Structure 1
Amino acid sequence: MIHYEDLTVGDTVELGPTSASAEEMIAFAKRYDPQPFHLSDEGAADTYFGRLAASGWHTAALTMRLMMTGRDEPLASLGSPGFENLRWRKPVYPDDQLTALVTVASKRLSESRPEMGLVQFEIETRNQDGVVVMSFVSTSMMARREPG
């Protein structure tokens, strides 16, 4: 497993690719974000999207999966207290090939819990053309290899 001590500020990794089919996007939208432009080409035709587009929350879920399963070794994650600056920058369309560029932005030891450190990751999700479709900063609570 990748622990707090294994990460260095400035480390960058590209994860992926992953994608979602039209059927997967529609199923996600029906359950979690049933806006017309996430449900059909017809519902999206006269909108900014022009055709079926993924829910931003679906894009976030795909990115999260890459972050948790896209490495040779899993992160020794203890969860997250949250994220900041979530931006959906461009639409994601069926079968777009998404990658996540993950950079260690900062890290610090926990003052109250010696078994963990806090790591801030800057994440950019990009499509097959290298266009950033989503970005955010995530704080992760990471297990230490040797607490305290």
Structure 2
Amino acid sequence: MIHYEDLNIGDSVDLGPTSASADEMVAFASRYDPQPFHLSDAGAANTYFGTLAASGWHTAALTMRLMMTGRDEPLASLGSPGFENLRWRRPVYPDDALTARVTVADKRLSKSRPEMGLVQFEVETRNQDEVVVMSFVSTSMMARREPD
């Protein structure tokens, strides 16, 4: 597993690709984000999107999966207190090939929990044309190999 000590500020990794079919996008949107442009081409026809587009929350879920399963070794994650600056920058369409570039922006030891450190990741999700479709900053609680 990748622990707190294994990550250095500036480390970057590209993960993926992953994608979602039109059926997967509609199923997700039907359950979690039933806006017309996420449900059908007809519902998106006269909108900014023009055709069926993924929910941003679906894009975030795909990115999270890459972050947790896209490495040769899993992260020793203990969860997250949250994220900041979530931006959906461009639409994601059926079968777009998405990759996530994850960069260690900062890290520090926890003051109250010696078994963990906090790692701040800058995340950019890109499509097959290298266009950033989503970005955010995530703070992860990471297990330490040998707590003090």
Amino acid aligned to 1:68:
M
TM-score with structure 2 setting the length: 1.00
Aligned position for 2:144: 144
Query: Shift in Å at residue 60 of structure 1?
Result: 0.1
Following superposition of structure 1 onto structure 2, how do residues 43-82 of structure 1 map, counting pairs within 5 Å?
A: 43-82=43-82
The percent identity for this pair of structures is: 88
Q: Which amino acid aligns with 1:51?
A: T
Q: In the TM superposition, what is the alpha-carbon distance from 1:70 to its structure 2 partner?
A: 0.1
| Cα distance in 1, alignment partners of residues 93 and 143 from structure 2 | 36
CA RMSD in angstroms comes to 0.2
Deviation of the 1:143 alpha carbon:
0.1
The reply on whether 1:33 has 2:33 as its aligned counterpart is yes
> Unaligned regions of 5+ residues in structure 2, if any?
none
- Corresponding pairs, count: 148
**Post-superposition shift, 1:89?**
0.1
Aligned to 1:130: 130
1:94 to partner: Cα distance: 0.0
Map of 1:110 onto structure 2: 110
1:97 equivalent in structure 2: 97
Post-superposition shift, 1:22?
Answer: 0.0
- Corresponding residue SS for 1:53: coil
Shift of 1:25: 0.0
Match of 1:3 in 2: 3
Q: How far off its partner does 1:132 sit?
A: 0.1
Shift of 1:104: 0.1
2:88 maps to which residue?
88
